[in-house]
Chains A and B, each alone.
Chain A
Amino acid sequence: MKKALAILLSTVTCLPAMAAEEINIYSFRQPFLIQPILDDFTKQTGIKTNVVFAKKGLIERVKREGKHSRADVVLTSNFSALMQLESMDLTQPIKSDAVTKNIPASFRDPEGQWVALTKRVRNVYSSKERLGKLDALTYEELADVKYKGKICTRSGKHPYNLGLVASMVAHHGEAETKSWLEGVKANLARKPQGNDRAQVKAVKEGLCDLALGNSYYFGKMLQDEKQKPWADSVYINFPNQTNRGAHLNVSGVVLTKYSKNKENALKLIEFMTDNKAQNMYASMNMEYPVKPGVALSELVASWGEFKEDNLPLSEISKYRPLALKLIDEVKFDL
């Protein structure tokens, strides 16, 4: 009976037979951002890549699918998703000498449960016309009353802002961060909305003078015909250069606990941490590569050297839930 059903099921279902030379990817990043890298990987290794992209819920999906999950790797766009996957026991150590060699220890889990692929800075953009370059700016200053009605940002609950707030908690503690958040909220030119590009656009149009935004958006806007005038209207500033350095976020990858194509997955992760892919991240997506020595894109390099906040991501990540609570408490988005 069981056998009969098994045969029946195997004939009627249109389950794609899983070829050995395949790898399945759950991605929080838009396919158009990573496809060239994946294509290059396939060209080099002959391993086919299958992608499911979603902005939300992929972690739940991996969790629910359990040991039958077909996902081999998960690509994330921020560090909290990496930590979450790890803490929910959905990952397995990435055991690869190549990866260990490519990526500095602070950008991977000690056990290899996750590996960062690219770095992005939480920059502050300032209006060329109205504020000029602000080399000495700090995140703390954003709460200063002199910027009242001058700041634009996306939702406080977006992972990028959440990461920044968590790092503030890590450095200053809960109470101080809360009053800082209240200060920033009081300085907002408008309710948090839109993405990082939209904030720069608002500066260009004169709605505000300061905008929080990730570094790579600036590069991508400069490359887009329509958006170039927006980017041209602002300076990119790296905050806290006089003290702890600018806050970093990372995109990264995990190897799933029940990966069925572990060999191939490891090959992909190695590929992504190696020169070629790191170079592509740098030149196409305007991100900072994690592998030391990989050249920045010319444009990104032109923004100059800067000091990074060295607090480990895993440390910052601990304060994420608290950061979210504080944002709710001050009703940052409302």
Chain B
Amino acid sequence: MQSLLSLSKWQVFAWLIGACLSAPLAFLIFESLQGDSDVFTHLWDTVLWDYIYNTLVLIAGVLLLSCLIALPLGWLTAYCQFPGKKYFEWALMLPLAMPTYIIAYVYTDLFDYAGPVQIALREWFGWQSPDDYWFFDIRTLGGAIVMIALVLYPYLYLIFKTALREQSFKLLQASQLMGMSPLQSFFKVSLPLARGAIVAALALISMETMADFATVHYFAVSTLTTAVYDTWLGYYSLTAAAKISGIMLLFLFVAITLEKISRKNTTVHERQSAVNDTHLYVLSGKYAWFASIYCIVVLFFAFALPVGVLVSYSIDYFDQAWNSEFFLYAWQSLKISLWVSVIAIALSIIVLFYQRIGEQKSKALPGRVSSTGYALPGTVLAIAVLLPLTLLDTKLNEWLEGTTFEPGLLFSGTIFAMVFAYVVRFYAIAQGAVEASYVRISPSLDMASQSMGKNFAQMLTSVHIPLLRGGILTAGLLVFIECMKELPAALLLRPFNFETLATHVFQYVSDEQLELASISALFIVLVGLVPLYFVNRSMEQHNS
């Protein structure tokens, strides 16, 4: 009876969280049921298919390119010894801290027809007009794919590397002894075994890609996100916008389902984790050179070059770009990112805990509905968040009418709205990372802990949470960095006079004058590096 009672308490918690985090989307869908669908029919007849095509090509391109970049890097750093590996291993995560809207701006500035690279080429070769030569056009679908992949590949890199680390070396040694070269072993053993992890990472990347607006907008590539903005803010049709969001959610649902299916197939295997103390392959000669150069090239384009350009902007425009308010903006960014990370992780642990101990068939549902906010583009999410929050505020004000206190927009007009929106958006990342750790905790530990008279809460705090450490750290890192970069929701939901680094940068980016905010942009990257450093160090200490 005791146990039944406490179980239902967790069930209530989990469902409550699920309800809160999916409320914005639910309200959005409810709103969309009222109203006409003329605009949607019009879009359907004209541009929608182009948008869907662009969206699919964009996602496919980003996934493919991310694989090409991240899979070799994951394999090299997990299994091989080569010069500089120790540094590359964590440096390769740096591009995570680079917002897409900044990298897109910097690259356009460099490689545009009117940019320094093409100008230099024209001067060098004496070309006069664009007809004299061919140069790739950065403001295209292809350009957008490259930009997005350059900042999102670290997801795949991080998750894939961890998965490889957990595979037993013996499997690869066995494969090698049976005549497979290291490369063949990679394709025949490592890759299929890490499939679940790869699909999980790709699902994350495709959701991020789908939600991206800044880059595709800047590159004038029309995707479904563009369509949502157009319909909502151009045609002022919430119905059509919600319907298009519905199409995107369908993509998302497919992505999540794929991920779940592949995870289900691998749960049995994942129990065989191994701690491998030494390197499997020691690269030498040209292979070692090749490995190091590959890492350097990726780091150069994804991180060093854009940061270098920002630094050069900062020096050229120092007087205009310097602003003593930076530290305040940085502090506000930091504060909100920390809050969101802690809340998202705490909620995901509760939901996953219920998923583990629950006996109802529906126990996985709270986790699933909670993750739906991830694929919504920032501004859409922001408006969707306003729907329940403003309703709540109105009700609260009505209820308190006649008392001395008039709360006003207690939820929607304060920093609460921002934190809530961020949590809704990034909860999926936290849950994904924590869940990956959770499946590795043996169920017999639960039984052992219960048999020793611990209740659920004690089991959670004294057994699960210490064992989830790795997952929690990864989740914290990813959510934190995403929060630092997040823009549209911050822009729309912030209270008066509240600036984060990202919103400060945006007012200049939106006027195509990033130069004037280059120091703030550097700050975003730098503040993002702080947790990267600490989490990395903490993981290293844990491993050794």
Contacts and interface: CB of A to CB of B under 8 A. Distances in A.
Interface of A: 2-3, 5-7, 9-10, 13-15, 24, 30-32, 50-61, 64-66, 68-70, 84, 155, 157, 162, 190-195, 197-198, 201-202, 204-207, 226, 321, 324-325, 328-329, 331, 333-334
A57 B139 contact: no
Contacts of A10: 404-405, 407
B228 to A, nearest CB: 11
Given A15-B408, A57-B492, A190-B137, 4 more contacts: A3-B403, A51-B496, A57-B383, A65-B413
Interface string B401-419: 0111101111011100000
Interface centre among B46, B118, B397 (most CB of A within 10 A): B46
Contacts of B139: 191, 193-194
B222 A56 contact: no
Nearest to A60: B383
B387 interface: yes
Given A24-B496, A65-B413, A205-B114, A197 B512 contact: yes
B104 to A, nearest CB: 12
A61 B403 contact: no
21 contacts: A3-B404, A6-B400, A14-B414, A15-B407, A15-B414, A30-B510, A50-B496, A52-B494, A55-B506, A56-B488, A57-B382, A60-B232, A64-B383, A68-B413, A157-B234, A191-B139, A193-B139, A226-B515, A328-B42, A328-B47, A331-B50
Contact of A68 (B229, B233, B393, B496): B393
A51 B491 CA distance: 12
B453 interface: no
Contact of A334 (B113, B130, B222, B232): B222
Contacts of A333: 220, 222
A206 B129 CA distance: 6
A324 B409 contact: no
Given A15-B407, A30-B507, A64 B412 contact: yes
Nearest to A22: B496
Q: Among B50, B394, B496, B503, which residue has the most Cβ atoms of chain A within 10 A?
A: B496
B493 to A, nearest CB: 8
B246 interface: no
B379 A66 contact: no
Nearest to B220: A193
Given A30-B510, A56-B229, A6 B404 contact: yes
A325 B42 contact: yes
A2 B229 contact: no
B274 interface: no
Nearest to A226: B515
Nearest to A70: B413
B43 interface: yes
A149 to B, nearest CB: 9
Contacts of A50: 496-497
A15 B497 CA distance: 13
B234 A2 contact: no
Contact of B497 (A6, A51, A206, A207): A51
B235 A2 contact: no
Nearest to B491: A54
Contact of B405 (A9, A54, A68, A321): A9
Contact of B394 (A13, A30, A68): A68
B230 A195 contact: no
Contacts of A64: 383, 386-387, 390, 412
A178 to B, nearest CB: 12
Interface residues of B, number: 64
Given A198-B512, A321-B235, A324-B234, A9 B119 contact: no
Contacts of B140: 191
Given A52-B496, A70-B408, A333-B222, A5 B400 contact: yes
B495 interface: yes
A50 B236 CA distance: 27
Nearest to B119: A205
A50 B499 CA distance: 12
B359 interface: no
A232 to B, nearest CB: 14
A195 B118 CA distance: 20
A6 B405 contact: yes
Contact of B495 (A52, A56, A162, A202): A52
Contacts of A13: 407, 410, 414
A65 B492 CA distance: 13
Nearest to B504: A31
B219 interface: yes
A44 to B, nearest CB: 20
Nearest to B238: A60
A104 B42 CA distance: 38
A313 to B, nearest CB: 18
Given A5-B400, A51-B497, A202-B113, A70 B219 contact: no
B403 A2 contact: yes
A43 B390 CA distance: 34
B128 A206 contact: yes
Contacts of A206: 128-130
Contacts of B129: 206
User: Which 3 pairs, one residue from A and one from B, show the smallest C-beta to C-beta distance?
Assistant: A6-B405, A50-B496, A193-B220
A56 B233 contact: yes
Contacts of A57: 233, 379, 382-383, 488, 492
Contacts of B488: 56-57
B381 to A, nearest CB: 10
Given A64-B383, A206-B130, A31 B407 contact: no
B399 interface: yes
A84 B236 contact: yes
A3 B386 CA distance: 27
Nearest to B382: A57
Given A56-B379, A205-B119, A328-B47, A195 B511 contact: yes
Given A6-B405, A206-B130, A328-B43, A53 B229 contact: no
Nearest to B413: A70
B54 to A, nearest CB: 8
Contact of A201 (B47, B114, B222, B382): B114
A255 to B, nearest CB: 17
A31 B399 contact: no
Residue of A57, A69, A325 most packed against chain B (CB within 10 A): A57
A190 B386 CA distance: 38
A155 B119 CA distance: 25
The listed residue with most B CB atoms (<10 A of its CB), out of A6, A30, A321, A328, is: A328
A7 B130 contact: no
Contacts of B498: 52
Nearest to A69: B409
A65 B113 contact: no
A53 B492 CA distance: 8
Nearest to B403: A6
A190 B497 CA distance: 39
A24 B495 CA distance: 10
Interface string B218-231: 01101000000110
Given A3-B403, A30-B511, A207-B130, A155 B496 contact: no
A13 B42 CA distance: 47
A57 B491 CA distance: 9
Contacts of B114: 198, 201-202, 204-205, 207
Nearest to B510: A55
A61 B386 contact: yes
A70 B114 CA distance: 44
Contacts of A66: 390, 394
Contacts of A197: 512
A69 B397 CA distance: 12
A9 B233 CA distance: 35
A29 B368 CA distance: 39
B23 to A, nearest CB: 14
